[in-house]
Amino acid sequence: MSTGVPLLASRSRSEHVAQFGPLPDLSSPERRGRLIDEVERAGLRGRGGGWFPTHAKLRAVNESAASRRRLSRGRHPIAIANGMEGEPASSKDVALMAANPHLVLDGLSLAAQSVGASDARIAVHRGSAAEEVLTRALRERDDDPVPIALVLPPARYVASEESALAHWVGDGVATPVFPDRPFQKGVDGRPTLVQNVETLAHLALIGRNGGDWFRERGCTSAPGTTLVTVAGSVVRPSVVEVPVGTAVLDILDQAGGPTQPLLGYLTGGYGGAWVSAGQLDEATWDPESVRSAGGVIGASVLWALGEDTCPLVELDRVTSWMAGESAGQCGPCMFGLPSIAEDVHRLAAGAPGADVVPRLRQRLGLVAGRGGCKHPDGTARLVATALDAFSKEVLRHEQGSCSAPEHVGPRLPVPETRSLTADTARKDFR
Ligand SMILES: Cc1cc2nc3c(=O)[nH]c(=O)nc-3n(C[C@H](O)[C@H](O)[C@H](O)COP(=O)(O)O)c2cc1C
Ligand code: SF4
């Protein structure tokens, strides 16, 4: 039996309730507490990239709200479903919302009630394919105990980082805020819960079926199923649902298998990590196993790179884009990422000069951990892991040649690259 994130055509609310049953009643504090206990028992970990335990976040928002009440500064918390899907290589969240909007909205409703929120938002970026289906679904839900509104922040990569999302909902500016985290001080200073839409769909099923049911699938450290975007040089690029802990090679098979011999994989998305082809042969798709193999499960992207594609040319395209997505608030991010992108570009173009790779490695060490959010860390890891996974290709490029000069394979999806200057950095975040 599937844990229930079926990728079918979108259903009406009555069809949805007929399939999944009604939502549990959370009208008393005891019932709300029990839901969080069930989420803990389920071992649900967030599917937005960090795989953080969901019950811990729910409790943190509750505790933050309680301490504010004690200080008589209490305003109710707010809950936000993160359906932004900022990772260009990921399509699982839009696929889920398009196919099953009410499951996500059920999860948001339960999560919002469990933290005592007075209102909730579901955020998808402007122009998202999920906008229409969510608009329709919300029209069928005027009885939700916590009112939910659809919001459309700008389609910038860091706009979907949780503090940026809270910033936009409160002040209309989608830049990350630090050092406070949203559970402490989010929208207008209120304790704010931000959960990925897939996490919420799982929570909706745990609310109905319980934590033990959820644990019937997946692995001990990360129970349940997960959606995976499988793309690149595979027969059927698709979103698949698998138990967490499924063998990576089985996941590839579900997408029809590779179309050609592979050089490696991008794991997790653009804030993730490259690994060379053999590295994932024994791995299973769970955070710990993928990490042991040198990758990152992150936003659950598995992108296969075929031999007909130069990894450094792809790295160049993605790194330039990531550099242009900085919010321009922190020096190491604003100035470091364009310098890194410049070095990667020289390397990809061939014959970069003997100093470029050592300088690049040094620059990577200077940005990681030094931003207000994890954007520079993700970009630095993307580049550092490519240098390791494709070290032979790096050597070839240093010597002025390339093993795939035609570069004919599938390209990683890269939206329009912005050139980052002090003047342009903060534009387009409203
Ligand atoms: C640069 C950046 C971009 C992010 N983009 C997304 C996103 O598009 N969707 C998402 O759910 N989480 C994204 N995250 C993670 C969120 O900050 C947050 O941790 C997540 O929404 C929490 O949900 P979860 O606990 O259910 O995983 C991003 C993080 C960073 C640093
Ligand atoms: S690290 Fe970069 S993206 Fe993150 S807050 Fe600082 S400038 Fe913005």
Q: What is the pLDDT of residue 2?
A: 41
Looking at 215, 248, 277, which one is the last position of a domain? 215
Q: What is the pLDDT of residue 10?
A: 66
Q: Give the pLDDT confidence of 318-340 residue by residue, as tens digits.
A: 999 999 999 999 999 999 999 99
Cβ-based neighbours of 168, under 8 Å, separated by 6 or more: 123, 151, 153, 154, 159, 174, 429
Q: Say whether both 148 and 234 belong to one domain.
A: no
Which residue carries 């160049």 as its tokens? 316
Based on the structure, what is the number of domains in the chain? Answer: 3
Q: Is residue 335 part of a domain?
A: yes
Looking at 149, 180, 215, which one is the last position of a domain? 215
User: At residue 7, does pLDDT exceed 60?
Assistant: no
Q: What is the mean pLDDT of residues 241-262?
A: 98
Q: Is residue 55 part of a domain?
A: yes
Q: Say whether both 301 and 318 belong to one domain.
A: no
Q: Say whether both 130 and 103 belong to one domain.
A: yes
Average pLDDT, the chain: 93
Nearest CA to ligand 1 atom 5: 160
Here the CATH number for the domain that contains residue 161 is 3.40.50.11540
Which residues approach ligand 1 with their CB closer than 6 A?
46-50, 52, 57, 82, 84-87, 157-158, 160-162, 194-196, 199, 373-375
Q: What is the pLDDT of residue 4?
A: 43
Q: Say whether both 86 and 202 belong to one domain.
A: yes
pTM of the model: 0.96
Q: Say whether both 112 and 143 belong to one domain.
A: yes
Q: Say whether both 90 and 17 belong to one domain.
A: yes
Max distance between CA atoms of the chain, in angstroms, equals: 69
Looking at 288, 306, 324, which one is the last position of a domain? 306
Q: Say whether both 175 and 32 belong to one domain.
A: yes
Q: Judge if the beta carbon of residue 374 lies within 6 A of ligand 2.
A: no
Contact 265, 295 (CB under 8 A): yes
Q: Is residue 374 part of a domain?
A: yes
Q: Say whether both 280 and 321 belong to one domain.
A: no
**To test ligand 2's pocket by mutation, which of 168, 325, 329, 335 has the most ligand atoms within 8 angstroms of CB?**
329
Domain region containing 278: 226-306
Q: Is residue 6 part of a domain?
A: no
Q: Give the residue, 73 or 231, on which the prediction is more confident.
A: 231
Q: Is residue 41 part of a domain?
A: yes
Here the CATH number for the domain that contains residue 240 is 3.10.20.600
**In 3D, which of 107, 150, 144 has the Cα closest to residue 130?**
150
